[in-house]
Amino acid sequence: MGKIMNNEMSKKEIITKDLMTVPNAISFFRILLITPFVAFFVTGMYIPAAITVGISGLSDCFDGMIARHFHQESELGKILDPLGDKLTLIAVGVCLIFIEPYVLPLLIAMVIKDVLMIVGGTIIIRKGIIPPKAVWYGKISTFLFYISVVAIVVMAIFKYQNIVLTACILSVTTAFMLFSLVMYTIKFFKLMKEAPMDYTAYESNTD
């Protein structure tokens, strides 16, 4: 009984400690930026909306750098960072459909990718596996999405229409998202394959 209480107290201490790190605070900030972005966008204030997305994208780059440089990587951060990305991308994608219907295929690809990743993440967490941190193809996929968003919003602001340019931007971003999904799927099955071995080792160490 005492061991269980100590474990629960340790978990609470870890969560509290994680909440106080700068990278996780940045991730929370990025999630909070979704509300002003949507508010700016639906009222036709595209420039502030683009600036908000830009700030969100930059913060996404810096939180990982800060975490690695100052050794503030945490289990909570591995969840918060991709969660912030997914919520932001979905909000931005839905908003963009209203001014640029060509975004729909990109949004569909993004939703499929994120839903599958959420399902996969839930499965590995239930298996007791620590979710892996974001890798380069996931970050590039997110970066390309932000670039696409800013480019489309800028074209909308200046009333510049170029179907070929828009199609190229969206095609490259969608292709990289699908590539990212394939790579994460491979990583998922690799983790699932290794899980029984790790779990057995864990059980033997606790006996």
Q: Per-residue pLDDT for 195 more than 70?
A: no
How many Cα neighbours within 13 Å face the side chain of 118?
Answer: 12
pTM value > 0.85? no
Right CATH for 2-206 from 3.40.50, 1.10.405, 1.10.10, 1.20.120: 1.20.120
pLDDT tens, 116-133? 877 887 788 777 776 666
pLDDT tens, 38-90? 999 889 888 898 889 888 888 877 777 777 777 777 767 777 777 888 888 88
| Residue matched to tokens 């600036």 | 51
The sign of the dihedral angle between the CA atoms of 48, 46, 40, 51 is negative
Q: What is the mean pLDDT of residues 129-147?
A: 77
| Residue matched to tokens 């459909």 | 97
Q: How far apart are CA 82 and CA 63, in angstroms?
A: 12
